[in-house]
Amino acid sequence: MTALTKPVRVRYAPSPTGDFHVGGARTALFNYLFARHHGGNFILRIEDTDQKRYNPEAVNWLLNGLRYLGLDWDEGPEVGGEYGPYVQTERLSIYQHYCQQLLDNDLAYRCFATPEELDEMRRERKPKGLPTYDRRYRDYDPAKALERADSGESHVIRIKLPLEGNITVHDAIRGDITFQNEILEDVIIVKSDGIPTYHMANVIDDHLMEISHILRGDEWVSSMPLHIHLYNAFGWEPPTMAHLPVILNPTGKGKMSKRESRAPDGQILPVFVRTFEELGYLSDAMVNYMALVGWSYDDKTEIMDREELIERFSLDRVNASPASWNYEKLNYFNGVYMRALTPEALAKQIMPYVKEAGINADYDTLVKIAPFIQERLNVLSDAPQWVDFFFVDELPAYDLNMLVPKKMSLEDVPSILKTAHDILAQTEFNHDAIDAALRVGVKTLGIKAGQMFQPIRIAVCGKMVAPPLFNTLEILGKETTLKRLEQTLSRLEQN
């Protein structure tokens, strides 16, 4: 990449029409990393000119999602800045000024085509591969157009684009791309309600906010010639543009869904940032994984903290080819980051999920449990199923057949549990002592270790899968362990 000749100023400029998608989050992240790498500014701008689709709640989802990911912005909503306002509907007078400039210089024109006329043009021209609008008002007398506009006649304003020749635009990731001017349309830059379209407002804002680099999704590649023509019309130097690779579904076929679904096993497949947060993906894991969806540092390095990502990020290593989203890989990253937490930090992280599940847990006990479930969690919201039995007075009813070890029957279980009860009643309650004592019981009964440990696990945990048995018993304590063994023996007697 060539040396930078001016201060780096990048922006993430979403349209708040729906939930904050990970595709948008990846774009925000790349802008953030690029700005931080070059000691520049990361600007957040809300592009809300499409008022028909505008959703106020989407702004909250966006801001909360950026905060969750730790992508702090230097200028924008809530923090301000000298280039504000940073919400486009608060900048309408600015756009009106520049629109009038284009009209005065005969670089734009008023169009009075009706919806019916536009539909007819579309039917006739689209099958021929022609621009759908036939430019019928392109050379219309500006004075007459102004008179009709002043009388209140509905109209839009369109940009005058060149009718012939080519335009070559440079993309920092994809290289030079050439477009034929004759296939470009004189697109609308101001709608009939007087609000500018995305293209017009976007170009004006990027110039006035002194944006140096535009990093955005590849769906905007086709808009590059229009934007460059707008810059040329105003006599402005365009920023460096870089279009990021599309994110594909996990199968590698088709763009990543805009809607959440479920895997065959019932697990939710999130696509919205707030769902990832609700499920309990750690922010640092999300950032690390997302950075590698379309970018790489080398062929082997995967785990990188935020500072390492900032230090290493460059557009040179962004791939133009699409990148697939991989939930298993994300779970692996999340596991790596969760295993790096101290027991105290993990307990603090899982506490909200445990409380939300209705479990009356205490922090000190969760700290004791944390090291023994740390390897088993994919996401923080998995925690309740691993800790619930520690915090109940009586276990929920379970199928007594779960107590039966392999090659044994239900009739064999009472003697195993009674032996375990008698041994544990006389045992010091720590991991090593419990381990040694129960293995003596295994020899006494003449059975395999698993045949003794399974019924004990079910009796004290109420489930087949639980944290390591001896650690579990130590945390539960002697009184609770013996009580649960007694309750199970009582159930077996009544069976």
Residues with catalytic function: 258
**Token match 């010091």: residue?**
428
Q: How many residues does the chain have?
A: 495
- 453: enclosing H helix or E strand: helix 449-461
CB 257 within 8 A of CB 249: yes
Number of H helices, E strands in the chain: 19, 13
- Concatenating the DSSP letter of every residue in 59-121 gives HHHHHHHHHHHT---SBBTTTB-TT---BGGG-HHHHHHHHHHHHHTTSEEEE---HHHHHHH
> Comparing C-alpha atoms, which of 401, 391, 377, 403 is closest to residue 475?
391
> Comparing C-alpha atoms, which of 97, 273, 301 is closest to residue 201?
97
Calpha distance 286→408 (Å, rounded) = 47
| Strands 188-190 and 175-180, bridge-based pairing | unpaired
Helix (H, G, I), strand (E, B) or coil at 190: strand
Calpha distance 11→47 (Å, rounded) = 11
Q: What are the residue ranges of helices labelled H in 281-430?
A: 283-291, 306-312, 327-339, 343-356, 363-373, 383-387, 413-425
Dihedral sign, CA of 177, 180, 181, 184? negative
> Comparing C-alpha atoms, which of 382, 411, 399, 372 is closest to residue 463?
399
Q: Give the Cα-Cα-Cα angle 289, 384, 463 (nearest 5 degrees).
A: 120
